[in-house]
Amino acid sequence: MNKVALNIEHLSAGFGENDQLAIQDISFQVDHGQCLAVVGESGSGKSVTSLHAMGLLPMPPAFIREGKIQFDGQSVLDLDLEERRKLRGKSMAMVFQEPMSSLNPVLKCGFQVEEMLSEHEEISKKEAQEKVLKLFAQVKLPDPKRAFDSYPHELSGGQKQRVMIAMAIACKPALLIADEPTTALDVTVQKEIILLLKDLQQHHNMALLFITHDLGVVAEIADQVVVMRKGQVVEQGDVQTILSNPTHPYTRGLIACRPPWDSRPHRLPTVQQFLGEVPPVDATLTSAHDRLRMLNSMQQKTPLLEVDGLTKTYISGKGKGKHVVHAIKDVTFNVFPGETLGLVGESGCGKTTLSRCLLRLIEPTQGSAHFDGESIANMDSAKLRSFRKSAQLIFQDPFASLNPRMTIENALMEVMRVHGIDQPKKRALELMDEVGLPADSLQRYPHEFSGGQRQRIVIARALALRPKFIICDESVSALDVSVQAQVLNLLNDLKEKYGLTYIFISHDLSVVRYMSDRILVMNQGLVEEFGEADKLCTTPQSAYTKKLINSIPGH
Amino acid sequence: MLKYILSKLTYGLLVLWGVVTVVFFIFSLGGDPVENLVAENSTQEVKDAIREKFNLDLPVGERYLLYLNDISPISVHSTNESSRYFLDEKQYSVAASVQVGSKTIALKAPFLSRSYISERSVTEIIGDALPGTGVLALVAIIFAIIVGISIGVLSALNKDGLVDRLALVLSVLGMSGPSFFMAILVAWVGGYLWYESTTLTAWPVVFMLLFVSAGLWRNRRTGKAWSVGLGRLSLLGFLIGVGFWLMASFLLLDNLSDFAFHLPGTGLSMTGSLYDVDIWKGQVLNLKNLILPALTLGIRPLAVIVQLTRNSLLEVMQQDYIRTARAKGLKESAIIWRHALKNALNPVITAISGWFASMLAGAVFVEFVFGWKGLGLETYNALEKDDLPVVMGSVVVIASIFVVINILTDLLYGVIDPRVRISK
């Protein structure tokens, strides 16, 4: 057997009829029994490369300009379609990013794996089913028998990804490609999946091509690293060397722009700064002493928001089948003016329900919330109107939260018209300047902007009414790390300039720690822990917080 | 589950009640049916006698109540034999009855009263007509499903190719042709023009074959896949063949334009029913008569199914799980039939069930043109003669069919897509 499992040489490829190349001159190789991580942000070409290796891009519209892809010493580009199909699944397998949509919703999980075995191996139905059950046990699905007979929607996200992995390793492939396999999952689940992949890779002596945007994950799993940017390889080498001693400014920027765990710079460095495109930010560290002093002075004022015993229950069914779910239960906290309160928890913990209750988008079942001394639930329409003006929400998905058929100007003017702001046109221009977008953006439509730019527009829309209180619901989760740093800096700049108060919701504890003065940890609708940010992170009291901290990749 | 069906049934009953009410009043407020029933110079006594017989002497409101009581499975009756509410066991098929004071409460089959014209029971009339329509609609929809889904899949796989475009043209024609026009067209072509052996010019086929073989030869030399560009070549060949034939006929080159295929005739008659009445043998099943009306009735759902299947399948083929199926190394046929089609069929099922219900109801034109003995033709005749009980009976039956089919469709979704399966 060849030592090299996958060898890509000088690969240039693209889409469509114009000569736009998505990747240029990519070369790397993965040895048997080795894990190579391909790191890059969206648009870096990492997925295109792996999909070409699998032969999963329909050509046309995709095309390969030049280069070689060799699997086990054999050039796969010379094979015909039927021969490539037989390689897929049997010798090279792939795990995708979205376990929710990557499994067929109308077929049982067991069958979807079994089908793969019967396609590639001479095996009876009974043997195949037994083998699937074994595989399910191997990927540590809690109840293999039940998972076998379940449809994908009956399993959790992490369980679905385990089914995907079981499927991928079913025929003991020599090469496993994992394309952002943990990005859509909760941190604690991410940790488990990474450990599982690492374990399986060593156990089966597979070559693992691990694609990710997260350098923290790379440190956990990879032997070798390839860093890609805009379709080109900028740096590659041994994982220790790359992470501790990167030579390319882009890699250095990528490493630096993640919020550090143990210190708190005034602003986060950005990738652009390392590439010399913008002047460096003020990254002086704030000392723990100063921070405590600031927090103390903040807490002298009367709280802006007081939440007491807030509970929201959903009831499904009637009579015997009645099922009561506490989305949030007995949540109590307060937020002082000028403070950033971090809210951490995994999916389903009630973060979003809480933020919606606070903005009176849904009615709480019990408990009260007071904003500026007024009970939010009992406001009359005039007071509610002024409350809506001073409390704003920034959503997670900048692609879904802008109307695709409205120009940016209309999107901004609409809110201002509703609340009767003077000279909305002038204000719109000011806002663009504020969030660092060119003035001509106003005439354009959302699809003309990148994710980071769209999030800036959403921020501008939230700022339009000069609010004093903003809830950021996972506002940076959908963004690339380098863009995330820019948006976090922008949020902090605006906070300083206008004395804003934030509730910053995220699943990413290191981002929350960087942003917040105090942190509220939620789990299954309950408050697990609430306290000063640094103290909570260094000496966590609850077991759940400890688990969250331990799950941070690279920590 | 049971609760779900019950709530659907209750809802359906409300719909039925509404339909019965609306139709009853529309026809009751119209003309006087008695005038159509009697000879022109009949005496008032004769007319009155007929009125009394069919309850037409009662005010509309009471007639309506009487009708509702008749069609309701649970009904209240008088014990007085001369009352119009008397539970006459000869008329009603009663399952059980209880005496409460001077009233009888009965559980019975819905009674649809009798035709004004033939005085036959409406249940019997509909019972005779329904199988004809049922068979016709069933054959038409099966034809539409099988052919429609196949063409839809083919179109989706050859997106923007020749097959796809042809299918689109045919679908637009099929969807836009009114059924009475299509019925006449199909009857004329299938039952008259092509009744006997027909000749068709062979030139287009000859040219098509020539062009395709030239294309195959070219593809072998250039090393392209065998199917590349053949669709276009065959169309080009066909058109040139047609042109050649027209030229030859125009120039009166008889030996060129006479080169033709001889197609055996269809031997189908333009009109006829499921059962022919033979003088010697009585009723004879004649399945040949089914072909033309079923074809006509199936054209429109066929067109809809083709486009729905195509679009839905194209959308599904873009989904992540199809990419997963490819990554598993499955054969393309398994990907399409096992993974894609099952997901793509939901909108198609909605369309099919909707069409099937309306085909049972709306075969009126087709049945009329082909003289097919079915519910549609029966309703048409009854409407012409102001035969209210038969019209009402058809309406009740058709509406019930709609309700039942809608419930069945909802259940079918659950079978195909586990995500909509109703819990509990």
Decide if A163 touches B, using CB distance below 8 A: no
pLDDT on residue B308: 92
Q: Is the CB of residue A54 less than 8 Å away from at least one CB of chain B? A: yes
Please spell the DSSP secondary structure of A202-216, one letter per residue: HHHT-EEEEEES-HH
Nearest to B332 by CA among A64, A168, A48, A119: A119
Q: Which residues of B touch A (CB under 8 A)?
A: 319-321, 323-331, 334, 338-339, 342-343, 416-419, 424
**Cβ-defined contact of A54 to B327 (cutoff 8 Å):** yes
CA distance B7 to chain A (A): 15
* Chain A residues within an 8 Å CB radius of B342: 106-107
Check CB contact of A403 with chain B, cutoff 8 Å. no
Q: What is the percent of chain A with per-residue pLDDT over 70, rounded to a whole number?
A: 98
* CB of B274 closer than 8 Å to CB of B284: no
Output DSSP code: residue A457: H
Cα distances from A240 to residues A97, A553, B296, in angstroms, run 26, 15, 74
Q: Is A93 on the interface with B (CB under 8 A)?
A: yes
Task: Give tens-digit pLDDT for B148-204.
Answer: 999 999 998 888 878 888 889 989 988 888 878 888 888 888 888 787 777 778 888
User: What is the per-residue pLDDT across A454-496, written as a single tens digit (0 to 9) for each?
Assistant: 888 999 988 888 899 999 988 887 788 888 888 899 899 889 8
Structure tokens at A171: 């025929």
Q: Do B328 and A116 touch (CB under 8 A)?
A: yes
User: What does pTM read for this prediction?
Assistant: 0.75
The SS3 call for residue A82 is helix
Give the pLDDT mean for B72-97.
Answer: 78
CB contacts under 8 A, A 63-92 vs B, are: 85-90
- Does the CB of A111 have a partner CB in chain B at under 8 Å? no
Average pLDDT (A439-463) is: 87
Instruction: Give the integer Cα–Cα distance in Å for B358 and A341.
Output: 60
Quick: pLDDT tens for B370-410.
888 888 888 888 888 888 888 888 888 888 888 888 888 87
Residue A217: its H or E element? helix A215-221
3-state secondary structure at position A245: coil
The pLDDT score that the predictor gives to residue B424 is 34
Rounded to 10°, the helix A481-498/A451-463 angle is 20
Complete DSSP assignment for A286-317: PPHHHHHHHHHHHTTSPPSEEEEEEEEEEEES
> From the CA of B321, how many Å to the nearest CA of chain A?
4
By CA distance, what is B332's nearest residue in A? A85
Residue of A nearest to B338 (CA): A107
Locus of tokens 């082909």: B370
Which residues on A lie below 8 Å from B416 (Cβ)? Answer: 106
Residue B155, both tokens = 């179109």
CA-based torsion, B234, B238, B239, B243: positive or negative: positive
- Name the residue with higher pLDDT: B423 or B143: B143
| Range from A125-129, A475-479, B32-36 carrying the lowest mean pLDDT | B32-36
What average pLDDT does range B69-94 have in this prediction?
A: 78
The C-alpha atoms of residue A352 and residue A358 are separated, in whole angstroms, by 10
Residue B327 has its nearest CB partner, among A89, A107, A153, at A89
Chain A residues with CB under 8 Å of B343 CB are 104-106
Which long-range CB contacts under 8 A does B22-29 form with residues at least 24 apart? B23/B391, B23/B392, B23/B395, B24/B64, B24/B67, B24/B392, B25/B60, B25/B64, B27/B386, B27/B388, B27/B391, B27/B392, B28/B60, B28/B63, B28/B64, B28/B388, B29/B60
- Partner-chain contact A98 B334, CB within 8 Å: no
Cβ–Cβ below 8 Å for B324 and A104:
yes
CB contact under 8 A, B324 and A107: no
Give A157 to chain B, closest Cα distance, Å. 15
Q: Check whether B421 has a pLDDT greater than 70.
A: no
Q: Which residues contact B263 (CB under 8 A, 6 or more apart)?
A: B194, B197, B198, B199, B200
Distance in angstroms (rounded) separating the CA atoms of residues B112 and B132: 20
Please report, in angstroms and rounded to a whole number, the separation of the first and last CA atoms in chain B: 6
Does residue A9 sit at the B interface (CB-CB below 8 Å)? no
pLDDT in tens, B246-273: 888 888 877 777 777 777 777 777 777 7
Q: pLDDT at position B30, please?
A: 67
pLDDT score of A396: 78
Across the interface, do B325 and A104 touch by the CB < 8 Å criterion? Answer: yes
Residues of A in contact with B321 (CB under 8 A): 101-105
pLDDT of residue A470: 92
Per-residue pLDDT at B84 exceeds 50 = yes
**Cβ-based neighbour number of residue B89 at 10 Å:** 11
Query: CA-CA distance, A274 to A394, in Å (whole number)?
Result: 29
What is the SS3 assignment for A413?
Answer: helix
HSE of B28, CA atoms in CB hemisphere, 13 A: 21
Three-point CA angle A508, A186, A394, nearest 5°: 50
User: How many CB atoms are closer than 10 A to CB A275?
Assistant: 15
Cα dihedral across residues A392, A398, A402, A406: positive or negative: positive
Query: B343 vs A90: CB contact, 8 Å cut-off?
Result: no
Task: Please tell me the number of Cα atoms within 13 Å of B369 on its side-chain side.
Answer: 22
Q: Is A86 within 8 Å of A137 (Cβ atoms)?
A: no
Instruction: State the smallest CA–CA distance between residue A22 and chain B in angstroms.
Output: 20
Residue of chain B whose Cα is closest to the Cα of A117: B328
The beta-carbon neighbor of A88 closest among B328, B334, B343 is B328
pLDDT for the residue B148:
92
Domain B1-30+114-196+291-424 has CATH 3.40.50.300: no
Q: How far apart are CA A467 and CA A455, in angstroms?
A: 17
Q: What is the ipTM of this complex?
A: 0.79
Cβ <8 Å between A105 and B417: yes
Residues 6+ apart with CB under 8 A from A205: A32, A33
Residue B224 confidence (pLDDT) above 70:
no
Asked if residues B302 and B174 have their Cβ atoms less than 8 Å apart, the reply is yes
Residues A187, A22: Cα–Cα separation, whole Å: 31
* Residue A102 backbone phi and psi in degrees, to 5: -85, -10
- Name the one residue in this structure whose structure tokens are 């379709």: A231
Q: Are A518 and A296 in contact (CB under 8 A)?
A: no
Contact at CB, B321 and A103, closer than 8 angstroms: yes
CA distance B325 to chain A (A): 8
Q: How many other β-carbons are positioned within 10 Å of the β-carbon of residue B260?
A: 13
The per-residue pLDDT for B31 is 65
- CB contact (8 A) between residue B331 and residue A85: yes
* Nearest residue of chain B to residue A84 (CA atoms): B329
pLDDT > 70? residue A530: yes
Residue A1 has pLDDT above 60, yes or no: no
Q: Give A255's contacts (C-beta < 8 A, 6+ positions apart).
A: A215, A243, A246
In the sheet with A232-238, reading across from the earlier edge strand, the strands are: A92-95, A175-179, A207-212, A35-39, A224-229, A232-238
CB B263 within 8 A of CB B363: no
Q: Which residues of A touch B319 (CB under 8 A)?
A: 101
For residue B424, with 0-12 CB atoms within 10 Å meaning exposed, 13-18 middle and 19 or more buried, which class applies?
exposed
A394 secondary structure, DSSP code: E
Return d(Cα A147, Cα A156) in angstroms, integer. 11
Interface test with B, best of A47, A101, A106 (most B CBs within 10 A): A106
pLDDT digits (tens, 9 = 90+) for B139-163: 999 999 999 999 999 998 888 878 8
> Residue A551: CB partners within 8 Å, gap ≥ 6?
A187, A188, A190, A191
Using a CB-CB cut-off of 8 Å, the residues of chain B touching A56 are 323, 326-327
- Cα distance between residue B92 and residue B109, in whole Å: 7
Question: Tokens at residue B193, please?
Answer: 């023009």
Sequence spans of domains, chain B = 1-30+114-196+291-424, 197-264
pLDDT at B362 over 70: no
